[in-house]
Structure 1
Amino acid sequence: MAASGLARTPLLVGAGTLLATVAVAVRDPHVAGSWGACPLHLLTGLWCPGCGGMRAVHDLTHGDLAGAWGMNPLLVVLLPLAVAGWAVWTWRAVHGRRTQAPRHPAWAWSFLAVIVSFAVLRNLPQLAPYLAP
């Protein structure tokens, strides 16, 4: 496959992400009901790992790092890693190099452990003032 064909997917992912980010920047998720609500939180009262993520992205697009951290610190930490991963994927694709998934699943299990741990910790009453949105 030609380099341009390889680059199509990461470029489309980047364009879609950019469009979604612009939508969240323009329509403020801090306004109740503007983007709906988390079904898990509505049904159980528990904060999922993604709760506050849209508000964090909105705050980041407006230069409010502290506000974003207050909404979802995990997203603020992982977002630069995701952007770096996308940049490497795109660079490799543009230069005709395929990107293969890691052969050992330890990275995926580690990522899952971080997500689950964050979900548990942000729902503990002692940590909720620091981790809940």
Structure 2
Amino acid sequence: MSGEALLTRRASSAAPWIAGGVAVVGAHAAAGLLFQFANPYETQVFPECFWHQMTGWECPTCGGTRALYSLLRGDLSRSFAMNPLLIVSYVAGLLLIGQTAVERLMHRQVRWPLWVAVSLVGVAAIYTGILRNVW
């Protein structure tokens, strides 16, 4: 394969990762801007959870807005208390980003973070979706 074709192939395979990174950073910037004007602990920022209204049970994402607000303010413990799934998802995401970075930079496969990430998110989802409603 020629050098030019290799560069084109690498650039095209990196495009989705770059677009995804820009989307994630943009979403967090928008949330940070929103939270400058609205404190979800004091005001209703978004409509109430439909699942919670219908069943009385908290869905796995209930408390996510307050958790993100606390996380962006640097209050990790309060964020975790509001919705552990959010924090665990960030940790899992960082593991997967680290896995991808190592694979791309070192040109070798790393498999361990994927099962760790899936396990972490699975346990947190079971807790936030079921166990916190029962206890």
Deviations 1:53-97 (A, max 9, x none): 22212211111112201211232233112122134335646x5x7
Instruction: Say which structure, 1 or 2, has more relative contact order (CA 8 Å, 6+ apart).
Output: 1
Larger helix percent: 2
| 1:47 and 2:58 are equivalent in the alignment | yes
TM-score, length basis structure 2? 0.68
Moved more, 6-15 or 83-92: 83-92
Runs of 4+ in structure 1 deviating by more than 6 angstroms, as ranges, are 107-110
Larger radius of gyration: 2
Amino acid at match of 1:58: Y
Cross-structure match for 2:130: 120
Task: Report the number of matched residues.
Answer: 121
Task: Pick closer, same or farther for the CA change 1:113–1:72 going to 2, 3 Å.
Answer: closer
Unmatched segments (≥5 aa) in structure 1 = 100-106, 128-133
8 Å CA contact 2:70, 2:76 repeated in 1: yes
Deviations 1:92-115 (A, max 9, x none): 46x5x7x9xxxxxxx869955652
Unmatched segments (≥5 aa) in structure 2 = 1-7, 110-116
Task: Pick closer, same or farther for the CA change 1:32–1:46 going to 2, 3 Å.
Answer: farther
TM-score, length basis structure 1? 0.69
Aligned residues with identical type, % of pairs: 24
**RMSD of aligned alpha carbons:** 3.3
8 Å CA contact 1:7, 1:90 repeated in 2: no
